[in-house]
Amino acid sequence: MEINLMEKIVSLCKRRGFIFPSSQIYGGINGFWDFGPLGVLLKNNIKELWWREMVLKNDNIYGLDSTIIHNPKVWQASGHTTFFTDPLRECKKCHQRFRADKLTKTQCPECNGELTAVKQFNLMFATHVGPTQDSANSAYLRPETCQGIFINFRSVVDTFHPKMPFGIAQIGKGFRNEITTGNFIFRDREFEMMELEYFVRPGEDENEFENWKEKRLNWHLKLGIKKEKLRFCEHPKESLAHYSKRTVDIEYHYPFGWSELEGIANRTDFDLKNHAKHSKQNLFYKDDEGKEFYPFVIEPSVGVERLTLAILADAYYEDSQRICLRLKPILAPYKIAVFPLLANKPELKTKAREIYETLKKNFSVIWDDIGNIGKRYRRQDEIGTPWCVTYDFESIENNTVTVRDRDSMKQVRIEIGKLVDYFSKEIYE
Ligand code: ATP
């Protein structure tokens, strides 16, 4: 039944313009997805809410937008050229490749053929910078955004002189040449990450780690994700990434089971120390007493696509009458749909259009005058529009419109002049 839910979400996303397979006219490309007109609205809302929560709300957190390609020495210093690998086994018969740690049998799951021994496969996409293609010009597409933060640490400290603790946050593309992709947008080869590096005094790291765990879980709850679908999962010591002292995932119960939504890692002083060593630059933080030290780093890191999938799965609702995305209004691609009761009555259409134009100055709004009102409601329910405003014959008499609520399907009459206030309160409550 849950698998069925996944199919329904994929189909809704395609049918209504949320998410399309990338390069579809050429048969697609595995692990790449394009966000359509509605998908990009939803995704932008998610990113904006994260930015507001992490950067705008905090005096001590700074934003950054670094490049996707760094000097390749960055990835040597960070350990990625050696350690950013997944274990791989290949079928000797059909040559399909699998992530060894995800295999449940010792034979090929596709054709039962014999599998090779485990090899370590580096997940970074390599490319070349400039017109010659030799090893001296090779570079990588970043597999995580945080190295851009570490290599700008000195510049941010020197320009803003932040006091401990402080953070640097970034949203941007990441690329991983995953051995196997799948589960729709859950595991992609190109995706967006929202990452905070929070610099703290050594010794205060464990406390701060606990703070961020709670803060991040609460943020997901604030987005409207159901509490029972979220849980923490502690990484066992033996499976920690090479830089991590402790990692706790926030897992979501996706239609295919519990899986990582966000990772919170204690990266210690690993990255700053190694960049200082490899770059021979001073990356110490100097406090007011003149004491110099490498801060420890707490990193909450979440993928936009994984969060989008969790939000869609969580909001999906269906009964015999309709399909509905019960998105929090703040996340909905369109907050309001505006209709004239009848499309062929100019006295209704002109006025409805005026309301549409006014609301559009304040909110993301959609116009619809096709088909009957019931069909229009269904169409809006399916894309998660929280309210539908209809200008009808009574509107001509008393300057009110009906406002129909997506979840309760109840209708109330509201004065046209009060609509902006009404929706502002409802959306930003
Ligand atoms: P997994 O164990 O699922 O491969 P990971 O532990 O390698 O994930 P992190 O390195 O912790 O992932 O990445 C931080 C976040 O980035 C993840 O919590 C996830 O939201 C997102 N992310 C990582 N890899 C992918 C991917 N291939 N596609 C989409 N999102 C991803």
Does the pLDDT value for residue 7 go beyond 90?
Answer: yes
Buried b (16+ CB within 10 A) or exposed e, 138-175: ebbbbbbbbbbbbbbbbebbeeeebeebbbbbbbbebb
Q: Find the mean pLDDT for residues 385-413.
A: 97
Element (H, E) at 198: strand 190-200
Q: Which residues contact 112 (CB under 8 A, 6 or more apart)?
A: none
* Domains of the chain, residue spans: 3-69+144-314, 325-427
Angle, CA 34 vertex, CA 30 and CA 39 arms, to 5°: 135
**DSSP structural state of residue 69:** B
Residue 76 CA to ligand 1 centre (angstroms): 21
Domain 325-427 in CATH 3.40.50.800? yes
Q: What is the mean pLDDT of the chain?
A: 96
Class of domain 3-69+144-314: alpha beta
The rounded distance, in Å, linking the Cα atoms of 110 and 98 is: 10
Q: Give 205-255 pLDDT, tens digit per residue.
A: 999 999 999 999 999 999 999 999 999 999 999 989 989 999 999 999 999
| Cα dihedral 11→16→17→22 (10° resolution) | 20
pLDDT at position 135 is: 79
pLDDT at position 2 is: 62
pLDDT at position 360 is: 98
Residue 303 CA to ligand 1 centre (angstroms): 7
Specify the residue with its C-alpha closest to ligand 1, atom 9.
Answer: 263
Residue 391 CA to ligand 1 centre (angstroms): 47
The rounded distance, in Å, linking the Cα atoms of 89 and 95 is: 9
Q: Give 58-88 pLDDT, tens digit per residue.
A: 999 999 999 999 999 999 999 999 999 999 9
| Cα dihedral 199→204→209→214 (10° resolution) | -110
Question: In sequence order, what DSSP letters do the residues of 108-174 get, joined into one string?
Answer: -TTT-PPBPPPEEEE-PPEEE-SS--SGGGEEEB-S-SHHHHHTTHHHHHHHH-PPSSEEEEEEEEE
Q: Find the mean pLDDT for residues 287-307.
A: 97
Considering Cα of 311, then 314, then 318, then 322, what sign does the dihedral take? negative
Is the CB of residue 306 below 6 angstroms from any atom belonging to ligand 1?
A: yes
Residue 392 CA to ligand 1 centre (angstroms): 50
Q: Give 8-28 pLDDT, tens digit per residue.
A: 999 999 999 999 999 999 999
